[in-house]
Amino acid sequence: MLLVVCGSLLATALVVRGIPGTAAALLLVFVLLAGLNSPLVFPRSIGAVEAQRRSAVDGRPIVYWRPGCKYCLRLRIRLGRSARQLHWVDIWRDPAGAVAVRAANNGDETVPTVVVAGQPHVNPDPEWVRGQLSPSA
């Protein structure tokens, strides 16, 4: 929201100065940045405990992430529709998720951390993650 508000204020100032084309382009850039940094780009997050329970049942990997992380965004975009097959945990919304990431990364909150069959993998290649999904998932 902050990016959209700031972009709107700057665009308004440019329109008042008589530069509407630049204002529109600037507003578009701010809206795109807001969209890319929004948690709405990611599949619905669940809690770490629920993700671990579901992963134990269906074998799907767990992705620990946080908004604004360019590596998380890269993983999400490169996974495409396959991203919906993973269990996503936002470590800024779920303290248990942050604890799980710190435990896997020597106290650091390094994301994305993908847990496959109980083994954490820090910032793995998106193609490798896709390969960890079962065809029936």
pLDDT of residue 40: 65
Q: Is residue 75 part of a domain?
A: yes
Are 6 and 66 part of one and the same domain?
no
Query: CA 39 to CA 43: how far, in whole Å?
Result: 8
How many structural domains is the chain composed of? 2
Are 46 and 69 part of one and the same domain?
yes
Q: Is residue 57 part of a domain?
A: yes
Q: Which of 121, 54, 128 is nearest to 86 (CA)?
A: 54
Are 20 and 51 part of one and the same domain?
no
β-sheet bridge partners, residue 115: 62, 120
Q: Is residue 137 part of a domain?
A: no
Kindly state the DSSP code that residue 93 receives in the 8-state scheme.
T
Specify the pTM: 0.72
What percentage of the chain exceeds 90 in pLDDT?
Answer: 68
Are 109 and 61 part of one and the same domain?
yes
Are 31 and 53 part of one and the same domain?
no
Q: Are 46 and 88 in contact (CB under 8 A)?
A: yes
Model confidence at 8: pLDDT above 60:
yes
Are 30 and 62 part of one and the same domain?
no
Instruction: Please compute the mean of the pLDDT values over residues 95-114 and round it to a whole number.
Output: 95
Are 31 and 57 part of one and the same domain?
no
Q: Is residue 51 part of a domain?
A: yes
The per-residue b/e assignment along 28-64, b for 16 or more CB within 10 angstroms, e otherwise, is eebeeebeebebeebeebbbbeebbeebeeeebbbbb
pLDDT of residue 81: 84
* Domain extent for 79: 42-131
Q: Tell me the per-residue pLDDT of 107-121, one tens digit each, with 9 for 90 and over.
A: 999 999 999 999 999
Query: CA 55 to CA 129: how far, in whole Å?
Result: 14
**Strand ranges, E, within 27-77:** 62-65
Instruction: Please compute the mean of the pLDDT values over residues 19-29 and round it to a whole number.
Output: 92
**Strand ranges, E, within the chain:** 62-65, 87-90, 113-116, 119-122
Are 21 and 82 part of one and the same domain?
no
Q: Is residue 81 part of a domain?
A: yes
Q: How confident is the model at residue 137 (pLDDT cuts 50, 70, 90)?
A: very low
Model confidence at 134: pLDDT above 80:
no
Are 52 and 113 part of one and the same domain?
yes
Are 29 and 50 part of one and the same domain?
no
How many CB atoms neighbour CB 25 within 10 A? 13
Q: Tell me the per-residue pLDDT of 25-43, one tens digit each, with 9 for 90 and over.
A: 999 998 888 776 666 667 7
Return mean pLDDT, the chain. 89
What percentage of the chain exceeds 70 in pLDDT?
Answer: 93
Are 50 and 88 part of one and the same domain?
yes
